[in-house]
A = this chain, B = another copy of it.
Amino acid sequence: MDEGYHVAILGATGAVGTRILAQLAQSTIPVKSLKLLASARSVGQTRQFKGQVIPIEEAKPTSFDGVDLVLASAGGQLAGELLPEAVKRGAVAVDNSSYWRMDPKVPLVVPEVNPEALADHHGIIANPNCSTIQMVVGLEPLHKAYGLKQVIVSTYQAASGAGQRAWDELLQQAQQHLNGESQTAEILPTKGDKKHYPLAFNLLPQIDTFQDDGYTYEEQKMMQETKKIMFGDPTSTQVKVTATAVRVPVPVGHGESVYVTVADESATRADVQRLLAAAPGVVLEDDPANQVYPQPLNAVDKRETFVGRVRADIENPGSFNMWVVSDNLLKGAAWNTVQIAEELAKRDLIHSQV
């Protein structure tokens, strides 16, 4: 592959797809050719890549003929249908949807945490849930140093995590509210459920649909994916994880209040800050005296995960509170996808699995 890879982006016109295109243009991946695939209704549009104008093509099984690498963000249904077709044709696919994540044959990868899992791929690699990615980037340095015991997370998730239309809806609702009009809601909290509520100037403690135990699928994803990424098994009992996921009226940038307990009770706040400052993919923003802490507005368009507000739980040695923010469309989606592809290329793992 001296001359590079034939690459396809599936779902190239969405909020994440357009960012995959931009991240790919800035990546170290040598691109020999690029196909942009989307649904039939986007055909006729074009996108630019490194000065070249590329037409949007309708995604079909035969679209993947001759393709080496697929970067996909087209939702679970299309990922389930089309990615096996791509693999059958010799491609390796990195997928953003939740469809393949719990498949034992599919590595679920955050390059700062478990790049070695890529070696076992069978053609499909899954990109984790946005809120999981930024959390494990912040947890991994503590786990390496002290051993992770328990995680209790409350999320503050941006509207764009539900797609471009949810993002647009938030801005429209905000203007309606400021005009003194009643707010219209057709998408949020989630397209997949029956009722819709305004998010602007409000909080919606529902992301994705509900399970019988009262947790949402988003919360379940955070619990299972954290275990699969950090311990190789979504049902691992080596760590306990529980989550509450809340949508907040922010366009881009997820916040997370993370309570973490490590095995080594001698760990101090200063130790944790030092570890985070040195960790890959992490920017420590933790200077209370100068009011420096992570904020979504400052994280937009950045690839890093920002961690701050590190505090020891005075009553529980080995337990810490911290505040984690990242651009959910970049590290939470497009950048992590392209970063996985960079790792695959570096490790020479982009080969036909047929």
A259 on the interface (CB 8 Å rule)? yes
- The distance from the CB of A19 to the nearest CB of chain B, in whole angstroms, is 19
Q: Chain A contact residues (Cβ within 8 angstroms of B): what range?
A: 35 or more
Contact assessment for B257 and A244 in the assembled complex, using a CB-CB cutoff below 8 Å = yes
Given A214-B288, A248-B156: A202 in contact with B296 (beta carbons within 8 A): yes
- Give the distance in Å from the alpha carbon of A288 to the alpha carbon of B297 in the complex: 32
- Cβ of A99 within 8 Å of any chain B Cβ, yes or no, is no
Smallest Cβ distance from A182 to chain B, in angstroms? 11
User: What's the least CB distance linking A130 to chain B, in Å?
Assistant: 15
Chain-B contact segment, one of A109-117, A138-146, A306-314: A306-314
Chain B nearest CB from A285 CB (Å) reads 10
A293 interface contact, C-beta 8 A: yes
**Contact in complex: A323, B205 (CB < 8 Å):** yes
Complex-state Cα separation, A315 to B296, whole angstroms: 31
CA distance A321 to B220 in the complex (A): 13
Residues in B neighbouring A259, C-beta threshold 8 A: 152, 242, 244, 259
Closest to A172 in B: B178
Contact, CB under 8 Å: A291 / B195: yes
Q: Is the CB of A205 within 8 A of B255?
A: yes
A294 within 8 A of B: yes
Q: Which residue of B lies closest to A323 (CB)?
A: B205
Name 11 A/B residue pairs within 8 A (Cβ), A-sorted.
A156-B246, A174-B201, A195-B290, A201-B297, A203-B250, A215-B311, A241-B315, A242-B315, A244-B259, A249-B250, A257-B257
Q: Please list the residues of chain A having a beta carbon within 8 angstroms of any beta carbon in chain B.
A: 150, 152, 154, 156, 171, 174-175, 178, 189, 193-195, 197-198, 201-206, 210, 213-215, 237, 240-242, 244, 246, 248-251, 253, 255, 257, 259, 269, 286, 288-291, 293-297, 308-316, 319, 321, 323, 325
